[in-house]
Amino acid sequence: MSTMAFLQARMGSTRLPGKVLMPIQGQSILERAIRRLKASPAVDEVVVLTSCRDVDDVVEAEAGRLRVPAYRGPELDVLARFYGAAVRFRPEIIVRATADNPLIDIGSIARIVTALRSRRLDLCMESGLPYGAATEAVTAEALTRAHLESQTPRDREHVTLYIKEHPESFRVGYLRAPEPVRFPDLRVTVDTCEDFLFVQNVICRLPENDAPLPLDLYIPHALNIMDEKRP
């Protein structure tokens, strides 16, 4: 079964505009997310999903520079954007990720994809990971059903919300994150300037060379930085 990672990315952000292209040690946050998705043996290909707005031309250009295909669709109807990409690229399983997460847990991707296949689930995710480290695995069939059935702006914006909130119609599985990465109170997403400075500090304490490093190697540094901030 072909598995593609669909990485949603756009320049518009209320709290931190342009964050997906902000650099950390010479690599944009978008590039770091792509590299981590590509590092998973469970992913066959990564596709960047951005909007049709002119402001997101730079996102498509960055994807091209990184030799990753891009798909453009509605800005706010993200579910329609995912559905359109699924029709064009025809994966059987989609790993949904967001480009404001430069520390995606590489190991988690294989765990959720494996569980999705072996347990014949429609959607699978892992609980307990740091906020911003998780992805979701969903079948293209379930995504198509959600696209056809969901109506509210809330469901259209959050892609898999309709599936999660209709357990009578979909098989949803939740895994528990392994202990080395089970830190649900740790925040490694980039949504604000403070988030960016924190994640940048974490990554700079353990620079990557040729390949992304496992998330569990970063967690002690993140915890130390949090301790340093406490009075």
User: Contact at 8 Å (CB) between 3 and 95?
Assistant: yes
- CA distances, 208 to each of 5, 105, 143, 193 (Å): 22, 15, 34, 22
What is the four-CA torsion angle of 113, 116, 122, 124, rounded to 10 degrees?
-70
Q: How far is the first Cα of the chain from the last one, in angstroms, to the nearest whole number?
A: 51
| pLDDT digits (tens), the chain, 231 positions | 699 999 999 998 878 989 999 999 999 999 999 999 999 999 999 999 999 999 999 999 999 999 999 999 999 999 999 999 999 999 999 999 999 999 999 999 999 999 999 999 999 999 999 999 999 999 999 999 999 999 999 999 999 999 999 999 999 999 999 999 999 999 999 999 999 999 999 999 998 878 899 999 999 999 999 998 777
Q: Write the DSSP symbol of residue 124.
A: E
Domains defined along the chain, listed by start: 3-229 (3.90.550.10)
What pTM was estimated for this model as a whole? 0.95
